[in-house]
Amino acid sequence: MFHSDQGSQYTSKEFRKALDTADFVQSFSAKAHPFDNAVVESFFRYLKHEELNRRTFNSRRELNLSLFEYIEGFYNKDRPHSANDFLPPNEKEKGFGGE
């Protein structure tokens, strides 16, 4: 999946052809709604900063393990989120947010 805004560089025929060649599915933010993917953008910002920054992976398996450990072992379990009343996702889903 390749998600972006609807900028001309992402909607050009050449770019679309490159995505098709790489077998990517293209996804866009809705027109005039640039914040509809803010949660995902926030996730990737923290993933890059907290897990991937300055790291090198020797295989796809090593990368997948790192991503799994970050998401399941830290991000969902321990990392507080402002959108969740500063609770980790797992705690929020269990109803510890007072709802």
Q: What is the distance of C-alpha 95 from the center of its chain?
A: 24
Q: Where are the domains of the chain?
A: 1-34, 37-99
| pLDDT, tens digit only, all 99 positions of the chain | 787 777 788 889 999 999 999 999 888 777 776 666 777 778 888 999 999 999 999 999 999 999 999 999 999 999 998 888 888 889 988 886 554
